[in-house]
Structure 1
Amino acid sequence: MSAITLDQLNNNISDIQKLLLSRIWSYYLENNCWIKTKILHHEFGKNEVIMELISLSGSIVYENQDRYGLTLKGALLADETNEGLSLLVNYVYYLKERFLIDPEVEVITSQDIERDFNLNPFQSKLMRNYVQLSRFQNGYSGNKSNWQINVPSEIDDLPNIANLQSYVLDKIMEFYDPHYPVFEKDRFSYLAVPLRENDMFSFIDDQAYKNVITKDWEEIQSNLISEAWKSCVILCGSVLEASLIWILSKNEETILQSNIKINNQVVKKIDNMNLVELVTIAGKMGMIGKTTINLSHVIRDYRNLVHPKKQIMENMIVTKDEANIAFNSVKVIIKELNQFNNN
């Protein structure tokens, strides 16, 4: 959970910063695309815009090529009425109810939203826009009037959460980085330096094996910088799978003696397992925590992204949010594997 709340963040930004965020968000709602930097510079002055935005975080607003975009945090900060937050909370409650009625629910459609929330097309589109920026979806498709959102993979967690509003607020602020740069030119150096910290894969004692994973990790950084989101998620899955295979194989004798079961079958061979199974075993062995296991959902089906037919059939869409979640998930899991190895 982030050390700062959304309310605190709202209180910390200036009136002119809120005005800039509101303009970016209103442009997006009107045009279904992010505002060009030169439009915002023309309206408020280039130097003034840069000066105000640079003191914010790239976790709120970011420059992407020739446009300014907002994250979910930025969109909610741009909303003076708190309507966006209410829509999100109501949507998550709705996901919970739909799951309780039908545990096999896969998609939520615009028709569902308009009927069950009694919303007009404009209001349902507004809800969709907030949901698309959030982690409460697993891809979306359609056009302005007819669309559908894939339900998040952790929908089955919702019935067990006592306070869904607090849950939503925590998810919104997850991975907030106050130092993440707003501007593209600053992001390369920011990402490149801390990600090579202190032999990240120190739990691997085979240098050749470690070199392969390290090179993949460096390529992930390049993908983030070049905004190759799909490649980023695929490589994150590959790095995580290779890391788990290594540490689980190293502890294979203990695992086999523990008679751990997956799908009612006792584990017999580590090398033949998929990523979901590897993550499950690592959790059962206490190598990674439950929260970390939940974080890994974005990359569990990463192999399907390699196959166009599967990607189309399962409507898998990879955005910046998914790439960032995948990247941060791997960092957290690798940190926990190092801690386990050092105990």
Structure 2
Amino acid sequence: MGISINYYTLLSKVVLKEPHPSDYPGLLPSFDPNAFASRDGSFYRAESLLTYVNRAIARLESELEVKEDSPAIERKDFRFLADKKIRAIAERDYLEIQRAHIAQCWKSVIILAGSLIEAILTDCLTQKKREAQSATAAPAGKKTLEVWDLSQLINVAVELKLVTSSVEKLSHSVREYRNIVHPGNEVRKQLVFGQEEARIALEVLHIVHRDLSQ
């Protein structure tokens, strides 16, 4: 299978033009048009060109991929959590939240941050179960903390002074995180979320972590 010279000339100008040395130095594999030409130079081999394109794309994707050790990714200490399994999940999900934020996946950030805040507060309130259950903000008839929703967990944690009141004030964009999991709820309740809501969700998570890790 070959490509005519005219078509290849257009292709090389639009897609396969070798970048200027100042553009991504050393990133793309070197491009020599003669390496893809037939013996008589009348056409270019499409298979070879596609191989080059695939190699170039692979290098670009590898360069753009966010690594765990990237300066943009931060690890946090969750040793204040009593449940070792929850601790491992928290460490994993915190990295995932940051990747989602970098990728501008705002819905994912809100859902992951909300679920992580809920897990953290449930663990910490369980360590003070008696005080939590007798708190004024504790939901009536719900003795099991695992069935409390995020709003109830936040209200009790604020009342017990485990977290600052700023968590309660800023948490509105996170409290409905369960509802946006399902598109139907998102449509029926006309839920709106974006970069700002994701930023606030991440900020609330950071405040909760700061307050409980001290």
TM-score normalised to the size of structure 2?
0.63
Count of residues in correspondence between the two structures: 149
Gaps of 5+ in 2: 1-63
| Aligned position for 1:210 | 87
Q: Deviations over 1:114-161 (max 9, x none)?
A: xxxxxxxxxxxxxxxxxxxxxxxxxxxxxxxxxxxxxxxxxxxxxxxx
Shift of 1:317: 2.2
Residue type matched to 2:149 in 1?
N
| Secondary structure class of the residue paired with 2:187 | helix
Q: Deviations over 1:253-299 (max 9, x none)?
A: 2333xx32348737622111000000000011011111221111110
1:246/1:263 CA distance change after superposition, 3 Å:
closer
Distance 2:161 2:138 in 1: 19
State, as a whole percentage, how many aligned pairs show the same letter.
Answer: 28
Q: 1:237, 1:299 within 8 Å by CA — same for their partners in 2?
A: yes
| Aligned position for 1:60 | none
How is 1:265-276 mapped onto 2 (pairs within 5 angstroms)?
A: 265=140, 268-276=143-151
How is 1:131-210 mapped onto 2 (pairs within 5 angstroms)?
A: 189-192=70-73, 195-197=74-76, 199=77, 201-210=78-87
Higher strand residue share: 1
Residue type matched to 1:330 in 2?
L
| Aligned position for 2:182 | 307
Residue type matched to 2:80 in 1?
F
Task: Tell me which structure has the larger Cα radius of gyration.
Answer: 2
Distance 1:264 1:315 in 2: 27
1:212/1:264 CA distance change after superposition, 3 Å:
closer
Shift of 1:246: 0.3
Residue type matched to 2:135 in 1?
I
How is 1:177-326 mapped onto 2 (pairs within 5 angstroms)?
A: 189-192=70-73, 195-197=74-76, 199=77, 201-256=78-133, 259-262=134-137, 265=140, 268-326=143-201
Q: 2:154, 2:167 within 8 Å by CA — same for their partners in 1?
A: no
Q: 2:93, 2:116 within 8 Å by CA — same for their partners in 1?
A: yes
Residues 1:332 and 2:194 aligned together: no
Q: 1:229, 1:323 within 8 Å by CA — same for their partners in 2?
A: yes
Gaps of 5+ in 1: 1-184
| Secondary structure class of the residue paired with 2:90 | helix
Distance 2:86 2:107 in 1: 24
